[in-house]
Amino acid sequence: MKTILTTLAALTIFAVGANAADPRPAKPNILFIIADDLATRLGCYGDKAAITPNLDQLAKEGVVFNHAYAQGAVCTPSRTSFMLGLNTRHARANHFIDHPDTMTMGRWFREHGYQTCSIGKIDHDDPKDGYVDPKAWDVRVKREDMVPTARLQRSSFDEDLGAKRKNVSFIGIADTPEAVEDSIRATRAIQFFDTERDAGKPFFAAIGFHAPHVPWNALKQDFDKHELASFTLEVTPADATPLPPGSMLQEPGMEMSVAHQREGQRGYYAAVTFLDQQVGRLLDHLRAKGLLDNTTVVFTSDHGYHLGWRGQWCKHSIDEQVMRVPLIVRHPQGAKDAKANGIVELLDLFPGFCDIAGLPAPDTLDGKSFLPLVRDPKADGKPGAFCQWGNGRTVRTLRWRLTERSDGSSELYDHSNDTLEYHNVIANPGHAPLVNRLHTMLDNEFGPLRKAAPGKAKQARQSNEN
């Protein structure tokens, strides 16, 4: 008995000494990675043109959400929504400026014992606005504080309109990573992990990358990896249903040659490849430091992007290619190499992070935790995903998308046979009960639809272009 007690005492002393030398927070760390303007154009989403080995590996170590949707068609409303956990009925683009006491994601975690870090574009952090919560972050590194130390070669990407050429974007080709802003952001995040991290606390680190937002910047070798012939052009079918006026940024669409479209796609995909490399740097560093086993990694984007759909090269519309976003979650105790088909919304991130951390969630949130689908990817998701922007509002279920416009028009798309939303079937009388049900879902989420006065649709659209 004496020998057993002596052994137990020695083990206790060893355990206390080990914990004192290497404190390990009981709560999990969270690494939140946000891309900008990234559609589901990744290898793990079945895109054969994408070169994204690090994100594909992250997907193998976690869960890929096939039906994740943003609540804003441009940066500010989307980021405002998911950083506050509120839908766009409760949180418009400038909500935090008007209501600075609203609880934010970063502040909630900071007040509950986490060391919080924000690097790059998390909230819409333009220096001239007040979107960022000053109480949210222990460490905050703004975009303007991370300036590339080398130059890149920039060329214009324009419409093919002859003398009336209109700029769409710029393409930046670099010889060294130090010329691309996302390399600087990844390096700064690694600095946080190495020299600023409080080892006595769990961390909530949010890293906002630039790519693939315009300009499309990447290393020359990233451009060279992508063959122009590997890209599939998006050709609008001859029988496609016309969209109502004001539903897209450009009317009726941009004019580009086939060769020029392939150049644009290569610029976008090269920027995504460079982004993938920076994500790989972060994950490799956490793994090398022994932190990854206690860290949940969540990768997403604020919204998607058009690369030629109906002639569009941007976002600014409430359709599938803009509203659907990548969402990859690597949870140490979650499913591996799995795909979740249930619907989730980005406003579910806030309550989901609380669930992961074992924290209560603010009772003001509109979202629902996504953690059950991380543990069981076959679990049911939400009945629908919602967005309102510009001149309309939309709800996406697993099969259908109903979009209602302020001019009184409506669109219904059947994703069982029309994944790119080219054929509006709203006129089919057999769909009337379905349309009524989806309309009720929209009213429950946003309230009654406000009809626009004549000539106001364009003004409403421009007011949201942040």
Residues 288/237, Cβ–Cβ less than 8 Å: no
Q: Cα–Cα distance between 141 and 119 in angstroms, integer?
A: 5
Q: Cα–Cα distance between 198 and 175 in angstroms, integer?
A: 36
Rg (CA), the chain: 23
Nearest of 49, 66, 23, 82 to residue 329 by alpha carbon: 66
For residue 250, give the 3-state DSSP assignment.
coil
The stretches of 307-404 forming alpha helices (DSSP H) are 320-323, 349-357, 371-375
Angle at 37 between CA 31 and CA 42, to 5 degrees: 70
pLDDT of residue 126: 61
Q: Is 180 left (phi over 0), alpha (psi -120 to 50) or beta?
A: beta
Residues 447/89, Cβ–Cβ less than 8 Å: yes
What six digits make up the tokens of 109?
């975690």
CA distances 41 to 50, 121, 292, Å, are 6, 21, 26
pLDDT of residue 453: 60
Q: Cα–Cα distance between 419 and 417 in angstroms, integer?
A: 6
What six digits make up the tokens of 56?
């594909």
Q: How many Cβ atoms from other residues are within 10 Å of residue 407's Cβ?
A: 17
Q: Cα–Cα distance between 322 and 70 in angstroms, integer?
A: 8
pLDDT of residue 252: 62
As to burial, measured by CB atoms within 10 angstroms (0-12 exposed, 13-18 middle, 19+ buried), residue 350 is: buried
pTM over 0.85: yes
Contacts of 93 (CB under 8 A, 6+ apart): 72, 76, 77, 80, 464, 466
Q: Cα–Cα distance between 41 and 322 in angstroms, integer?
A: 12
**Domains identified in the chain and CATH numbers:** 26-383 (3.40.720.10)
State the 10-residue block means of pLDDT for the chain, 466 residues long.
44 40 72 98 97 98 98 93 92 83 96 97 71 91 89 86 75 95 97 97 98 97 95 93 86 79 95 98 97 98 95 93 98 97 98 98 96 98 95 96 96 98 97 98 92 52 38
Residues 383/372, Cβ–Cβ less than 8 Å: no
For 225-238, the DSSP string reads HS-GGGPPP-PPPT
Q: What is the Cα 422 distance to its own chain's centre?
A: 24
As to burial, measured by CB atoms within 10 angstroms (0-12 exposed, 13-18 middle, 19+ buried), residue 225 is: middle
| Phi, then psi, of 67 in degrees rounded to 5 | -130, 65
Nearest of 404, 412, 383, 400 to residue 446 by alpha carbon: 404
Q: Any idea what DSSP says for residue 384?
A: -
Q: Cα–Cα distance between 457 and 431 in angstroms, integer?
A: 27
Pairing of strands 295-301, 327-330: antiparallel
